[in-house]
Amino acid sequence: VLTEAAEKFIGRATVAALAGGPPATDLFDPALALGAHIELAERAELLAVAPCTADFIARAATGRGDDLLSTLYLCFRGPVVLAPAMNTAMWEHPAVQRNVQQLAADGAKIVPPESGWLSCRRQGAGRLPDPETLLSAIVEALPPPS
């Protein structure tokens, strides 16, 4: 799933190349008759949001569902892995920390951001965890094979 902000930050072509196909973007995709959020939630074994923005964290923590990703989160019944990534000031803000605590209490596995150079050209906490760390968290959260 590619949000509007992610499309501007990363780009549709980059995500399509990495994912091996076009990303889902439309909550009202006519090809998914039951609703994109419902059909995608039913197909998935795990929901991973990486990078997980302060905006998504706030939407999820408060149950706001007004785009494809937030409604998918609300429909999904399996394990959820969230990998926050943002500017250090945002990551350290009490509202973001409160929302992260709420999501953890709701059962989401939070993969904490790392420290290092950020896209804002500053150093600090907020960097997306390295791919090996993310993969390990995802594999650990997956349900055992049936």
Residue 27 is given by DSSP the state T
Marked catalytic residue, from 17, 19, 95, 120: 120
Alpha helices by DSSP H, 25-93: 36-43, 54-62, 68-75, 88-92
120 classed as catalytic: yes
Question: How far is Cα 86 from Cα 9, in angstroms, rounded to an integer?
Answer: 12
Helix, strand or coil for residue 53? coil
DSSP-assigned states of every residue in 82-136:
EEE---HHHHHSHHHHHHHHHHHHTTPEE-PPEEEE-TTS-EEEEEPPPHHHHHH
The CA distance from 38 to 10, in Å, is: 25
Q: Which residues are catalytic?
A: 120
